Amino acid sequence: MARIVCQQIAPRVASLEFNRRLSLNAIEAAVRDRADIIVLPELATSGYSFETAPEAASVAIDVADPLLGEWAAAARYGDAVVIGGFCERGHDGRLYNSAVVVDGSGVLGVYRKVHLWDREKLWFTAGDYPPRVFETRHGRIGVLVCYDLEFPEMPRTLALAGAELIAVPTNWPLSDRPAGERAPEVINAMAAARVNRVFVACCDRAGTERGQEWTGGTSIIDESGWVLSSHEGVGEARAVVDLARAHDKSLTRLADVMADRRPELYGAVTATAGA
């Protein structure tokens, strides 16, 4: 069984030192809470609402930065795995909206968001590598960042590659929705979990940043698509899950969400004139 904790924190834009302490405290608190898998928001080290590319660059760090080493050191106390977003300066000097996976041994790897949202395109370079599944001490974890999850090909790709859990650091801008409805991004995450029979842990952020409000839609979702835990405002969502259940893709003795796929027919649609 794995204990997942999502830390819905409120980073401060362009304040690396503030966010270093904030993210480290969040990891330490989750470790004290006996978390095995800890998810932090998108761009947890940098904040989100940049006004210029130089401002984003001012809080970019590379994957060898001591800050991520501090995350690893904090994870080591609890034998935890941490997935969190950061503003990455690549070896090519470009900025990426990335998520890192660390455990007590250090950085396991980095995923660079491939679908940049809106004004992110003004300062970030989109990742050019497919989504990845990381073999961790607590399970096979696929990583997506925010808007990536709106492309159903992405969770599908990860599920086909054996992901048990998809961890999604995110910053969901608050949007209007009908009364009584869940945030649309959560509805979409529930569907992604269900159709792929994988667990999904979305860690959103809290706070208001330069007038931007956030959905605060942090949700841990089981492999049937139901929300096990969520949280409003700053704080934790927590759930204990058996990630091995994601290996069973069957729905009945004669139905299986993966074996029933017909990939030879996908994308091959023909528009047909009527009568």
Q: Is residue 247 a contact point for a second copy (CB under 8 A)? A: no
Determine which residue in the list 86, 199, 225, 246 makes contact with a second copy, applying CB under 8 A: 225
- Report d(CA 120, CA 97) in Å as an integer: 8
- Please list, in sequence order, all residues whose beta carbon lies within 8 angstroms of the beta carbon of residue 121, skipping any fewer than 6 positions away: none
Residues 13-32 that bind a second copy (CB under 8 A): none
Rounded to an integer, what distance in angstroms lies between the CA atom of residue 51 and that of residue 246?
41
Does residue 113 have an active-site annotation? yes
Buried b (16+ CB within 10 A) or exposed e, 202-215: bbbbbbebeeeebb
Binding a second copy (rule: CB under 8 A), the pick from 26, 35, 190, 201 is: 190
Active-site position among 6, 87, 146, 203: 146
One-letter amino acid identity for 112?
A: R
The residue among 15 and 49 lying less far from a second copy, judged by its C-beta, is 49
Least distance between a second copy and beta carbon 259 (Å): 11
Q: What is the CA radius of gyration of the chain?
A: 18
**Site for a second copy (CB under 8 A): which residue of 45, 157, 215, 218?**
157
CB distance 114 to 127 below 8 Å: yes
Instruction: Verify binding: residue 92, a second copy, rule CB under 8 A.
Output: no
Q: Which stretch binds a second copy (CB under 8 A): 13-21, 37-45, 198-206, 252-260?
A: 252-260
Cβ distance to a second copy smaller for residue 20 or 132: 132
Q: Count the residues in the chain.
A: 275
Regarding 119 and contact with a second copy (CB under 8 A), the answer is: yes
For a second copy, the closer of residues 9 and 185 by Cβ is: 185
Tokens of 37: 């898998």
Are 133 and 169 in contact, with CB atoms under 8 Å apart?
A: no
Q: Which part of the chain contacts a second copy (CB under 8 A), choosing from 45-53, 63-71, 182-190, 230-238?
A: 182-190
Instruction: Determine, following the binding rule CB under 8 A, whether residue 96 of this chain makes contact with a second copy.
Output: no
> Which of these is catalytic: 87, 113, 164, 185?
113
Q: Is 100 helix (H, G, I), strand (E, B) or coil?
A: strand
- Give yes or no: 249 in active site: no
Q: What is the dihedral of CA 115, 121, 127, 132, to 10 degrees?
A: -30
Residue 213 pairs with which residues in a beta bridge? 208
- Least Cβ distance, residue 172 to a second copy (angstroms): 13
Under rule CB under 8 A, residue 211 binds a second copy: no
Catalytic annotation, residues: 42, 113, 146
